[in-house]
Amino acid sequence: MRIPFEVPSYQDDRSRCRIVAATPGNNPALWEQFLDGAEESYMRHGVASALEMSTIRDGTTTTLFFAALDHAEAMVGGVRVQGPYSSVDQSHALVEFAGHPNGRRHVHAMLDERIAHGVVELKSAWVAPDAHCGRAVTAVIAESPAYSTALLGARYALATAASHVRSAWLDTGAIIASQIEPIPYPDERYRTEVFWWDRQTLAFDAELSTWRRMRRNTVTLLAHRRPSIELPEAVAS
């Protein structure tokens, strides 16, 4: 698939992929590929219900999505972004913690504290099982909070993720909400934790070489953006 130049993107040497930051409305064919890949991945792991395909398919809940395209322009992974939120109740994390009142209360308080400064939420991350350098694609996805906050003009990024990807998130500057007990979501096989990124402190929170790479890629993404992308003005951190 030929991606127009005006779509923000950068080349990732580790995964040998081009990383594209697109919107469902402006890139419907790419969005369909993203959904197909996500559905296959979630079905393979037996958690397709967590994807909530009927809710996300029309793209209205997705402000932006990142897609990793290999040398043949096949999509081998991606993640989507919701927000910036105008209301705490828009966060999907509250839905995930619905059966855990204490944790939900903490999540709500953290959102309430941050929402005025801009909060985006990362959802539906996936990596194709046959992806070349699959771990590198996972690392790329873990960097997306830095890029999404810059592109969307938000200070904070939020994600809920199983503990097995914790190290990848931490490398990119994530802070674990340690006061919130991990929960069995989507099912008992997983221990899902709450992670936050603060764009103002990423230089201190992220691993140094990762921070330098994210900063360089952020500048590239912002330089490629055109008015047609319809994203708010933002300044690279």
| Confidence at residue 229, expressed as pLDDT on a 0 to 100 scale | 41
Which amino acid type is present at position 90?
Answer: Q
Mean pLDDT computed over every residue of the chain: 89
Q: Please spell the DSSP secondary structure of 103-119, one letter per residue.
A: HHHHHHHHHHHHGGG-E
- pTM for this prediction: 0.90
| Single-letter amino acid code for the residue at 121 | E
- Band (165; pLDDT cuts 50, 70, 90): confident
pLDDT of residue 6: 61
Handedness of CA 87, 67, 124, 194 (dihedral sign): negative
Pairwise CA distance, residues 68 & 125, whole Å: 11
CB 67 within 8 A of CB 127: no
pLDDT digits (tens, 9 = 90+) for 26-66: 999 999 999 999 999 999 988 888 889 999 999 999 999 99
Per DSSP, the three-state class of 99 is: coil
- Considering only CA atoms, which of 69, 97, 79 is closest in space to residue 12? 69
DSSP 8-state secondary structure symbol assigned to residue 66 = E
- Three-state DSSP string of 15-44: CCEEEEEECCCCCHHHHHHHHHHHHHHHHH
| The residue to which tokens 């096949």 are assigned | 74
What pLDDT, on the 0 to 100 scale, is given for residue 236?
A: 35
Q: Which of 64, 86, 38 is nearest to 149 (CA)?
A: 64
Give 104-132 pLDDT, tens digit per residue.
Answer: 999 999 999 999 999 999 999 999 988 77
User: Would you state the pLDDT for residue 225?
Assistant: 60
The tokens of 163 are what?
A: 């503990």
In angstroms, rounded to a whole number, what is the distance separating the alpha carbons of residues 122 and 194?
11
Burial pattern 6-32, b for ≥16 Cβ within 10 A else e, equals ebbbbebeebebbbbbbbbeebeebbe
- Separation CA 6–CA 231 (nearest Å): 12
Average pLDDT of span 73-98:
95
